[in-house]
Copies of this chain bind each other. A is one copy, B any other.
Amino acid sequence: MHERILVKDISEAARTRAGEEVQVSGWVHRIRDMGGITFVVLRDRSGTAQLVLPETSSEDGLIPEDGLTLESVISARGLPVLNEKAPGGAELQLRSLEVISRAQADLPYQVNGDISKVGLETILDNRLLSVRNPKIRAIFNVQAAIIEAFSAYLRSKDFTEIKTSKLVWGGTEGGTELFEVEYFDRKVCLAQSPQFYKEAMVSSGMERVFEVAPAYRAEKHDTPRHLNEYVSLDIEMGFIESEKDLIELEQGLLTHIFEELSRKNAADLALWKTSVPDADAVAKAPTVGYEEAVKIASELAAKSGGGRIFDITPEAERFLCEWSLKEYSSELVFVNEFPRRYRPFYAYPSDANRTMSFDALFRGLEITTGGRRQHNYDAFVETLPRFGLKLENMQNYAALLRYGCPPHGGFAIGCERLTARILGLANVKEASLFPRDRKRVTP
């Protein structure tokens, strides 16, 4: 199999190695019988290409006696030829064909079909087949590129990648939405976020850290924006002054991610008929205070005949993104100065009622929550009663502030949410290879 070429290279081979047999391998994506001549569309990791079987194929033994089934894995040899009418401008005129793994004929899911006509549950129930569809595959190409660009950008800014435990003694935020794990003779929880660990590593001298890892939320409700298990892109950095340093970092980071996607995933974006904001649009993203943001959303809601808005609800997020696009030509908007009552104990107060925390909204949805954290031990201790927390239960957290902790902050981007917003997916589950919800734990 060492001579195998990818189907994307057939046209190149037709130009440079005309008359020379080449070998391709992959999955039978489509079979078209055009009255004598049979066309097989072959799919490999690089895309699809047309194989042309001569009229006498079945007599020649080119096609196996039990026929060629869709999704079978085959290896084929033939002559690469340029053909304007063929998709990609070239095709392979077959000389031999070997079935490596015959797909059973009872295919429960039509891989080469139009996915807009298939329901989400069917797509997820048949994940091993649905991800073979080039348009669905494109989602995960984009997701891999996001993770690569995220990591590369942060490394270029001197961040250290960390890997922290997902088995924790309790929720950082003291919430109840935790999954319990039977851990030998005790119970632990699945981490909701690496919040404690990333702050601890900043305070331990790494200064700038990031982590790409699963996070868990035992939320019972099923919405198009939630997953019970998701990939969290986490960042934390020391020696910041306010959340504005973080917003600036996120703008640089998103710009890099978008530029990389434009450069390397143009075909994937094209399949979803979408594009990403350019550097200029990201730079123009406004930052608006919480109270002002609620007012803007409320006014837009009133204009469109909706009710009043009292918080940054999903509806408000949509209105704020509309507003940002109209006023600033940016699909991205930052909301800062969140009230203390809406943020966890570790949010750094900017005054008696407000915090140095922020959300990033993109294309109608929150993709990031973050902010500066409390780094002062005495202020931390004073704050706890306000949140119904007791110091004796917070000894791990106290330890990270007690022995020298720089001013710091960070944020997290939901990887599936960002993927879904970039591609315009209706449900975040589409952007998870194996999503978990209250009902779904397989495949």
Taking CB atoms, residues of chain B closer than 8 Å to A128 are 200, 203-204, 399-400, 403
Cross-chain contact A403 with B205 (CB below 8 angstroms): no
- Chain B binder among A86-94, A356-364, A383-391, A435-443: A435-443
Q: Name the residue in A184, A190, A434 with the highest tally of chain B Cβ atoms < 10 Å from its Cβ.
A: A434
Chain A positions 38-56 with a Cβ under 8 Å from a chain B Cβ: 43-45
Q: Tell yes or no: A406 within 8 A of B by CB.
A: yes
Cross-chain contact B404 with A164 (CB below 8 angstroms): no
Cross-chain contact B132 with A188 (CB below 8 angstroms): no
> Which of A's residues lie within 8 Å of B, judged by CB?
1, 4, 25-28, 43-45, 71-73, 100-104, 107, 127-129, 131-132, 137, 140-141, 143-144, 147-148, 151, 155, 158, 160-169, 179-184, 186, 188, 190, 196-197, 200-201, 203-208, 212-214, 218, 220, 228-229, 231, 239, 241, 375-377, 396, 399-407, 415, 433-436, 438, 441-443
24 pairs, CB–CB < 8 Å, chain A vs chain B: A26-B205, A43-B205, A44-B205, A72-B404, A101-B376, A101-B405, A128-B204, A131-B204, A132-B204, A137-B206, A140-B206, A147-B161, A163-B433, A165-B214, A165-B433, A165-B434, A165-B435, A167-B436, A183-B436, A184-B438, A197-B434, A200-B443, A213-B214, A399-B443
Please report the C-alpha to C-alpha distance between residue A190 and residue B434 in the assembled complex, in whole angstroms: 14
Please report the C-alpha to C-alpha distance between residue A196 and residue B443 in the assembled complex, in whole angstroms: 9
Taking CB atoms, residues of chain B closer than 8 Å to A406 are 25, 73, 100-101
- A237 CB to closest chain B CB, in angstroms? 10
- A174 CB to closest chain B CB, in angstroms? 16
- A178 CB to closest chain B CB, in angstroms? 10
- A202 CB to closest chain B CB, in angstroms? 10
Given contacts A184-B218, A200-B443, 15 further A-B contacts (CB under 8 A): A45-B158, A127-B200, A131-B204, A132-B205, A141-B160, A144-B162, A148-B151, A148-B161, A163-B231, A164-B434, A168-B441, A180-B182, A182-B182, A213-B213, A399-B443
Please report the C-alpha to C-alpha distance between residue A184 and residue B178 in the assembled complex, in whole angstroms: 10
Copies in the complex: 2
Cross-chain contact B229 with A167 (CB below 8 angstroms): yes
Closest 3 CB pairs of A and B: A103-B404, A45-B207, A165-B434
- A398 CB to closest chain B CB, in angstroms? 10
Taking CB atoms, residues of chain B closer than 8 Å to A196 are 443
Taking CB atoms, residues of chain B closer than 8 Å to A45 are 158, 160, 205-208
Q: Please pick, from B102, B143, B399, the residue contacting A163 in the complex, using a CB distance under 8 A.
A: B143
Q: Please pick, from B148, B162, B180, the residue contacting A181 in the complex, using a CB distance under 8 A.
A: B180
Please report the C-alpha to C-alpha distance between residue A166 and residue B441 in the assembled complex, in whole angstroms: 10
- A228 CB to closest chain B CB, in angstroms? 8
- A151 CB to closest chain B CB, in angstroms? 7
Taking CB atoms, residues of chain B closer than 8 Å to A180 are 181-182
Q: Please pick, from B26, B169, B205, the residue contacting A137 in the complex, using a CB distance under 8 A.
A: B205
Closest residue of B by beta carbon distance from A133:
B205
